[in-house]
Each structure stands twice: as structure tokens, then as C-alpha cells.
Structure 1
């Protein structure tokens, strides 16, 4: 799904600066597990041999939205304002008002990731991100002008490259929405292909269900005696 807004294309430039202009190595050191001033802002890397079946070719900065006070105190200064603006972008989308029960299911914590995929000398031997679906309610994703995002076809046979569309966010639906819609909305599987000639960036905002929310189909989905496809999930 696409959401088009003015100025979307320009939002990638501050993040590109972080990754390409020598700032990335500074942020890596500052927000490593050992050095980060907060548990809610962390640098990570996929180059962890003992933890992965296949190497992923990416680094990332991951930040949980807790409060604007914490953001001001702890988030990376080089892209703090842009990260906050992007995190708040979920509030401006054209989504119909939902009641409290639905909000408990769908709209909880928010986490923004800046994913950096450096140019890979042997892209045929690895991936940027391996195939998977997410446990978030949905993800708002912003690509740079390089691309590399692929989603699995509905029939499961093969992959589709997600074309670059100017001024657009990509909104991915995940497992919780499949559960509450009784399979009407399908959770997608996606991957990112490594690039042998250019660096790439993806910025992702993960919107998660609230921890206390129980995921189960909405009552109207089960109208006329229909049975749920999935058991309630906490």
C-alpha cells in the first residue's frame, strides 16, 4: 500500500548524510550495546556469525519512541529532528478513527530504524535482509532512490521488486492485522537484496500492538456465525 505526501522524497536526505558522510562510524561507536546512553536507542549489525544461518549485509540504528524529552536527551543529534518527524508521520496518515479496543490491539509502541546497506563485493552470496514477515501491526517504509525491496507474490511463487514511486511511503501489513481481519488482510513476506555497486538506505517506522492488547478478530469480521481462523494471541 502507498501513501503519498508532499515532501516525502526530501526526507531521505538527512538519513543519507548519516550513512554516507562519515557520520555512520561515529554513531556506531556512540550507540553500541556497551556505550549507548539509553536502552531505547541502539546500533546493531547483522554481521554476527554465531546467531545467523546466513549473513545479512546491513547495519542499523534502532530507536524506540518513549517521550520527546528522552529523544532530546539521547537520540543521535545528527538526525534527531528528522527521526522524530518520521516517527510522528504515522499520526498524519489517512486512517479512520478507531475505538479503544481496536487501539489496544493495533496502536502501541513505535520504533524507527535507519537501515544502511553498504555496497557488497559479492551480492550473490548474501542478502540485505533475509525473507521474513514482522510482528508489528504495520510498517511505514521510506526507500532511497536505489531500491532493493522485494515482496513475495500472493501465490508464493517468486518475488516482486517494489518499484520506486516518488513522494510515497510504503505501508506493509503484518501478522496482527492478518489475525484480527480473519485473513482478509494478508501479512506479507519481504526481503532486501544486497547491491554490488551502490550503498542503500531504508527508513522504517514499526507500529506495534500494545503489550496488554489481545489479538483476535473484530466482532464484525465474525458476523453471521463465521469462525475465527486463529486463536487469540496476547
Structure 2
């Protein structure tokens, strides 16, 4: 590993750009640092204590509701009840968890296990997939915004686009190849269901968001958060809001996800078998992941977004919901325009949406 300056030794000679480059060239990620026995976080990973704080949030009535989707296709009353729960959760916090969603627990466990196995396999095998070329079918790296964000996050990541054009299976690592296809099949079905419920919560026909192709693109992102020697000075994922229509998140049992509600950080404790649904930048729902002395923590995020597709379709405020009393606040833009700005901005703790206000 390169000789990275520990946080306690930072001085005016610290060359952040050079150390970021040296770290990236190892292709070993944060796990490589941990495996090398690092006892103190390198300066490039330093996060101000206020942001990195892993103190228990204040006692609060706020929280992320758990919505039971069981029997909603058979029981109209239950469906109306679920739609109301989702509407309230989306209006107030932008996050909710779902259970009885139809995705087998065995599939959830296998995707978590296979993501773990990818990161914990021999480093030389893993390095062949390390890249910052997002046209590749399968990407492994550390921090997509490593060179642009003010804080490097204590995590490693894999990314693959599974829809609308699935990758060639031979381009995916054997260790997680089959489960990525199996998992994506289930997530696409769940995504269509969630978009239908969100459409109904907006008072629209159930196919409205699907008709806008909101479920057309699917990106699967696996995060690996190694244990941190100084969790109070590092962060798993910086405060941000997702550049998606919705995100379907699967957590392992470690915890660490927090969401911002009414200027308070609220824990999202793992619920066995549940998915966390995040309405993304539709509501600027901000969240972060704390670093932890224990680890690793594994999560799999499924991003519904057409951002990497060459489409000219414009998205903006839903016309059926606009009026003289409720005029549009944002421009119509392509998702690609939004994603390009989001990537350039990086995870700097701010939302990308204000940039597109009218």
C-alpha cells in the first residue's frame, strides 16, 4: 500500500490530490487498507466529527415506517390502506420499508453473500475489474467521486446496469454472475409494484409512473463497508440524496443507515426480510451511512433510473398535478442531464435539485 499520511500527521505539506491518485492506483480499495493493518485513517478519509458522528440520535417520534404489502392485489381495502401509508411516508420523510413484497428471503441472502464474496476474494482477481470507465459492464472501485468530493467515503463499491439492456453474462464475475440476474428479475417486478402504489398515492392511475418509463433502467450497486479504526472521524457514505426515481435498498443486519427528518438524523434499523424504499431526489430525501468499528457491512442498492440511457425524454413536474395555485418549481430536463450534474457535483452533502429550479 502507498504511504498515505495519517490524519494525525496532516500539515500544510499534505498533497490530497497526489495521495488520492496513489490510493486509487493500488486498486485495492478501503478493504486493502484494512487488510494492510492500518490503525489510523489516512487524511484523505477524514470526515469532520459532526458529519461522522455515530452517537445515538435524539429520542424522537420520527422514524421509517414498515409497510406490509401482503394481499394488496386481493384486498382493495388493504391496498387503499397501503397507498395511504406510502403517501404519508413519502410526504414526510421520503423513506419507508416494505415486507411481504414477494422477493424470496433466499434470494436476498444470496445477493448479500455473493457481494461479500466478491470483495473478500483474492485481491489480484478483484483488481481486474477495478475501473472508472462507467461504460464497462461491471465496475469495481472506491468512491465514484473520489477526485471531486471533499470527503472520501470508507467503502468499496461494485456497479452493473441490468436493464433495459442486460450485460453479457461473461462480463460479470463468476462469483456473483447468476445471482445478479436472478435478483434483478425480482427487483424489476417489485419496482413496478412500488411505482404503481406511488402513482396511486399521487391520485393518478396506477400505471402513470411506469408509462413515463421510470422503471425502464436498473442499476445494481453493491457496497462493502469495512470496519473503521476511527469511525468518529470517518463516514461510510456522506450525506446525500439519490439521483434516482426510486432506490430499493437491501441492508444486512449491521445497521448504520440514517435518514434526515425534520433536521434530525433517524436510524433505519434493519428489519429481517425488508427492503428500504427511498423516493430519491423526487423529494430530496437525504441520508448517510455511518462508519463502524465492527464490519464489514454489506448493502445492495437497486437504482431505478434512465440516467445512462441515450434518451431525449424530458422529465419535470407531473402536469396532472399542476395548476395556477400549484405552478412548476423545476425545469424539464433529461435524466442524463441530471445525472451528469450529480456526478460532477459528487456527494458533497447537498442536493442536485436546486440547480434545476425555475
Fold conserved between structures, TM > 0.5: yes
Gap change, CA 1:129 and 1:24, over 3 Å in 2: farther
Gap change, CA 1:220 and 1:214, over 3 Å in 2: same
Where in structure 2 are the equivalents of 1:107-122 lying within 5 Å? 107-122=215-230
**Counterpart in the other structure of 1:228:** 328
The offset of 1:135, in angstroms, is: 1.5
Aligned to 1:150, what secondary structure does the other structure show?
strand
Check whether the contact 2:279–2:285 (CA below 8 A) recurs between aligned residues: yes
Aligned to 1:39, what secondary structure does the other structure show?
coil
**Counterpart in the other structure of 2:170:** 73
Is the counterpart of residue 217 in structure 1 residue 317 in structure 2? Answer: yes
**Counterpart in the other structure of 1:98:** 207
Q: Structure 1: which 5+ runs fail to align?
A: 179-185
Gap change, CA 1:28 and 1:103, over 3 Å in 2: farther
* TM-score computed with the length of structure 2 as normaliser: 0.55
CA distance in structure 1 between the partners assigned to 2:115 and 2:315 by the alignment? 37
Query: Which deviations, in whole Å up to 9, do the C-alpha atoms of 1:131-179 show, x marking residues without a partner?
Result: 00122111110000101111101x2x2200101111111111122xx3x
CA distance in structure 1 between the partners assigned to 2:104 and 2:161 by the alignment? 24
CA distance in structure 2 between the partners assigned to 1:12 and 1:116 by the alignment? 15
Most deviating of 16-25 and 105-114:
16-25
Aligned to 1:33, what secondary structure does the other structure show?
coil
CA distance in structure 2 between the partners assigned to 1:48 and 1:132 by the alignment? 13
Gap change, CA 1:103 and 1:26, over 3 Å in 2: farther
Where in structure 2 are the equivalents of 1:1-234 lying within 5 Å? 1-4=96-99, 5=101, 7-8=104-105, 11-19=108-116, 22-23=120-121, 25=123, 28-33=126-131, 39-46=136-143, 50-65=147-162, 67-68=165-166, 70-93=167-190, 94-95=193-194, 96=196, 97-99=206-208, 103-104=211-212, 106-153=214-261, 155=262, 157-175=263-281, 178=282, 186-209=283-306, 211-223=311-323, 226-234=326-334
Most deviating of 107-116 and 137-146:
107-116
- Structure richer in strand, relative to its length: 1
Higher relative contact order (CA 8 A, sep 6+): 1
Question: When the two structures are aligned, how many residues end up with a matched partner?
Answer: 219
Query: Which deviations, in whole Å up to 9, do the C-alpha atoms of 1:58-108 show, x marking residues without a partner?
Result: 00111112544x342211111112112222233322243525x85345233
The offset of 1:10, in angstroms, is: 5.5
Structure whose alpha-carbon radius of gyration is higher: 2
Query: Which deviations, in whole Å up to 9, do the C-alpha atoms of 1:30-53 show, x marking residues without a partner?
Result: 21128x9x7121101139865431
* TM-score computed with the length of structure 1 as normaliser: 0.81
The offset of 1:198, in angstroms, is: 2.0
Aligned to 2:160, what secondary structure does the other structure show?
strand
| RMSD of aligned Cα (Å) | 2.7
CA distance in structure 1 between the partners assigned to 2:253 and 2:224 by the alignment? 13
